[in-house]
Amino acid sequence: MKPTVVSVAHLPDFLTDRLREAFDFRDRVHERDPAAFDAIAPRVRGIVASGEARVSRDLLARLPAAEIISVFGVGYDGIDLEATRERGITVTNTPEVLTDDVADLAIGLMIAVSREFLPADCYVRSGCWAEGPYRLTRKVSGARLGIFGLGRIGRAIALRAEAFGMRISYTDRSEIAGVKYAYFPSARALAEQVDFFVVSAYGGPATRGLVDADVLEALGPNGVLINIARGSVIDELALIDALKKGRIRGAGLDVFADEPDVPPELIAMENVVLTPHVASGTLETRKAMADLAYANLEAHFAGKPALTPIRVEN
């Protein structure tokens, strides 16, 4: 009999089609048909989640046969890891394959905010150009970049920024041996020293709200905040307040505290660029993520070790 697998996230068709072929697969059945979910819950052995999805202790309690959670994404902050550890449930993610895309988007947001792509585009489309040239913006090349979280993605951002002649520094839980960039022991200390502050840290309780009013104040009126990590890392109300009062210059945000709800204050601001959690959202990368998320399940149900179990970082 094919193992029963459920998804708890929006997944692309090229993944769900394969899952349907290989497994007794039910796509978001817990949302779509709670009665059908109750009926199959006792035999669910695999769960497919995404970076944004939640797999709570309560949900796992309803799935007594669960063995593996395959996350279609690198972040797994939505998974109750304590509950998975207690139950011996394997958790896998899709590292590496999305690093380039996420780093590309971070650089793109920096330039889009600083060179004012959106208001400049509006200037052309609305016919204002005929009245005179667009106002001057701020330079990215050679500016100071602070990276909050120098993991795989943070390093890929740094590598790209080097090509822009940026002066790079970082903060992380501690100084990382062998890294040539300047280390600062806190987000605040880093923010004081940079023009661009990019958040590329893990989400979850350890980083919740770490970019707060104090950090934004330190970033200062010429500073730009970029977030391609998790909305939870930033105190979103403090960010709105800082933007309103001109305490920072602008922001480029791919992630939010309560997706897909984006605060109307942010939507109304022209010095903010908003993207709908699409940093890994290219066809090439999502296919590679799908291959890996699928391969993890395939290996597990063939009695082999999963390919990319999460590296738990406490």
**Is residue 149 part of the contact set for ligand 8YV (CB under 6 A)?**
no
Q: Is 7 helix (H, G, I), strand (E, B) or coil?
A: strand
Do 21 and 60 contact (CB within 8 A), yes or no?
Answer: no
Do 74 and 293 contact (CB within 8 A), yes or no?
Answer: no
Q: Which stretch binds ligand 8YV (CB under 6 A): 47-55, 116-124, 137-145, 213-221?
A: 47-55
Q: Which stretch binds ligand 8YV (CB under 6 A): 44-52, 109-117, 235-243, 256-264?
A: 44-52
Q: How far is the CB of 178 from ligand 8YV (least distance, A)?
A: 26
Q: Is 197 helix (H, G, I), strand (E, B) or coil?
A: strand
Looking at beta carbons only, is 137 or 275 nearer to ligand 8YV?
275
CA distance 147 to 182: 10
> Phi/psi of residue 200, each to 5°?
-135, 40
**Is residue 72 part of the contact set for ligand 8YV (CB under 6 A)?**
yes
CA distance 26 to 10: 12
Angle between helices 283-301 and 13-22 (to 10 degrees): 20
**Is residue 200 part of the contact set for ligand 8YV (CB under 6 A)?**
no
Bridge-partner residues for 91, per DSSP? 69
Q: How far is the CB of 279 from ligand 8YV (least distance, A)?
A: 6
Looking at beta carbons only, is 169 or 227 nearer to ligand 8YV?
227
**Is residue 188 part of the contact set for ligand 8YV (CB under 6 A)?**
no
Looking at beta carbons only, is 101 or 172 nearer to ligand 8YV?
101
Q: Is 167 helix (H, G, I), strand (E, B) or coil?
A: strand
Between the two ends of the chain, the Cα-to-Cα distance in Å is 38
Q: By rule CB under 6 A, what string of x and - marks binding of each residue 48-67 to ligand 8YV?
A: --xxx---------------
Length of the chain equals 314
Which residues 82-111 are close enough to bind ligand 8YV by CB under 6 A?
A: 98
Q: Which stretch binds ligand 8YV (CB under 6 A): 71-79, 181-189, 242-250, 256-264?
A: 71-79
Tokens 């890994």, located at residue:
280
Looking at beta carbons only, is 74 or 157 nearer to ligand 8YV?
74
Q: Catalytic one among 30, 277, 286, 300?
A: 277
What does DSSP assign to residue 240? H
Do 253 and 227 contact (CB within 8 A), yes or no?
Answer: yes
Looking at beta carbons only, is 53 or 140 nearer to ligand 8YV?
53
Looking at beta carbons only, is 52 or 236 nearer to ligand 8YV?
52
Whether residue 259 lies in the annotated active site:
yes
What does DSSP assign to residue 261? B
Q: Which residue is nearest to ligand 8YV (CB)?
A: 73
CB atoms within 10 A of CB 20: 15
Q: How far is the CB of 286 from ligand 8YV (least distance, A)?
A: 7
**Is residue 75 part of the contact set for ligand 8YV (CB under 6 A)?**
yes
Rg (CA), the chain: 21
The binding site for ligand 8YV (CB under 6 A) comprises: 9, 50-52, 72-75, 98, 277, 280
Residues annotated catalytic, as ranges = 230, 259, 277
